[in-house]
């Protein structure tokens, strides 16, 4: 998807773009997404995927 990523993030990004999911952040769209907290907010995780350069096919 254009950048190096872990298998978990790669699979999450693939599911997100194929499923056309509209995730909503329960906070302020600024959740910390790192290796230990990547599952806490799907909206912020997807935002970070785009920020690091992941692209649809």
Q: Could you give the domains of the chain?
A: 7-51 (3.30.50.10)
Per-residue H/E/C for the chain: CCCCCCHHHHHHHHHHHHHCCCCCCCCCCCCCCCCCCCCCCHHHHHHHHHHCCCCCC
Residue 34: CB atoms within 10 A of its CB come to 8
Distance CA 14, CA 20 (A): 10
What pLDDT is stored for residue 31 in this prediction?
Answer: 95
pLDDT per residue of the chain (57 residues) written in tens, 0 to 9: 779 899 999 999 999 999 878 899 999 999 999 989 989 999 999 999 999 999 987
Residue 57: CB atoms within 10 A of its CB come to 7
What pLDDT is stored for residue 1 in this prediction?
Answer: 77
């Amino acid at each position: 998807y254009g950048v190096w990523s872990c298998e978990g993030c790669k699979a999450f990004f693939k599911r997100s773009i194929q499923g056309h999911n509209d995730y909503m952040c329960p906070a302020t769209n600024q959740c910390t997404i790192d290796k230990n907290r990547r599952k806490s907010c799907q909206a912020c995780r997807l935002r970070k995927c785009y920020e690091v350069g992941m692209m649809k096919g």
